[in-house]
Amino acid sequence: MKKFYTFLFFTFTFIISFAQIIEGDSIVNVKTFWNVNDVKNYHFTTKETKYTNEESIQQEEISYDIQIKVEDIFEDETTISWTYSNIKFNSTKFVNNPIYLIDNLKFYFIVDTDGRFLRYSNLDHSIANYLKSAEKIQNQYLDDTPILEKINELVKNYSTPENFAKIFEKDINQYHLFYGKGEFIKNKNYVEYNSYMDNLFSMSPTPAVTNIRLTDIAFTGTNYIMKSIQTADKEWLANSWFNYLKKLSQELNVDEPDQNRLNDNIIYNVTTTSRIKDNGWLSYSLEIKKVHFQDTDYTLERRFELF
């Protein structure tokens, strides 16, 4: 089976130089052309910035390396592994982030032939390794009871399969966002669909609309750029904000908010731009979440860089 896929891969290469960019380099079909034992290494960074009209600025940065390997290809499914390492924080907020506990941790998941995420694989084994990794961190703070208690709570919260998977959810979603979305013509057609975003004021997801399009193809035909813009439903955001204020006023036993608060201007969108090679491997991806609310602006940048 492995020899067959290798033969098929080189056949496509010879005929049309990776079938992904076709018809005179004008159309792109976003999918993967990966082989067993392919390995790519990425440096990932997040930068969180909050500022107001008074220019008070708060920044938080996290960085780590991710190695992605194609472990197996069988029929219409591809098993890949991600290994996290070299995790760094620029603040003490690491005690609230489970990423801090997974240094040198490998986990597995499965994608289809286009590269769309299907499901996780062998999570029990990954969780066992997660607990071993976390124990090393716990041992570093045996003499610091307050921090140790926070780490212990973090370990407990993310030791179930459902919560453990959430540690990697945003990274996987960003990396695999464009795969399997179909064929695109540069700056012409687009894909638009209803989606959901994190809620700013409650646990319920925020309804949104996502627009995806092809913005550029390299003149060499070896890579292209995809862009996604996800915009929150403004009316839903306004109602969510009002209900949050109403609930808060009841808890504090103060006057309920005025209906005019429904007119508060809230801007919430996420833009993702990815450069993808003709073999389907990501070479760069930048996701920017922006929130503007009253006198406060919030920006979160998430960046994949191939090295």
Cα 306-116-291 angle, rounded to 5 deg: 70
- Residue 204: pLDDT band (50, 70, 90) is confident
| CATH class in words for 2-306 | mainly beta
- Residue 125: pLDDT band (50, 70, 90) is very high
User: CA 259, CA 233: separation in Å to the nearest integer?
Assistant: 19
Q: What residue ranges in 39-126 does DSSP mark as E strands?
A: 39-52, 57-74, 77-89, 105-112, 117-121
- pLDDT for the residue numbered 235: 87
User: CA 227, CA 225: separation in Å to the nearest integer?
Assistant: 7
Per-residue pLDDT at 91 exceeds 90 = no
Tell me which residue of 34, 33, 6 sits closest to 22, measured CA to CA.
33
- pLDDT for the residue numbered 72: 97
- Residue 262: pLDDT band (50, 70, 90) is low
Spans of all domains in the chain: 2-306
Mean pLDDT (the chain, rounded)? 86
Q: Which residue's structure tokens are 């608060």?
A: 261
User: CA 224, CA 281: separation in Å to the nearest integer?
Assistant: 11
pLDDT in tens, 51-71: 877 666 778 889 999 999 999
Per-residue pLDDT at 5 exceeds 80 = no
Higher pLDDT, 259 or 290: 290
DSSP code of 294?
T
Per-residue pLDDT at 110 exceeds 70 = yes
Per-residue pLDDT at 2 exceeds 60 = no
Average pLDDT over residues 93-118: 90
- pLDDT for the residue numbered 21: 58
Q: How far is CA 39 from CA 91, 229, 284, in A?
A: 31, 29, 16
User: CA 225, CA 215: separation in Å to the nearest integer?
Assistant: 6
Beta pairing class for 206-217 and 57-74: unpaired
Per-residue pLDDT at 191 exceeds 70 = yes
Cβ pair 230, 269 in contact under 8 A: yes
User: CA 153, CA 151: separation in Å to the nearest integer?
Assistant: 5
Cβ pair 44, 304 in contact under 8 A: yes
Q: Which residue's structure tokens are 């496509």?
A: 12
Per-residue pLDDT at 15 exceeds 90 = no
Cβ pair 106, 129 in contact under 8 A: yes
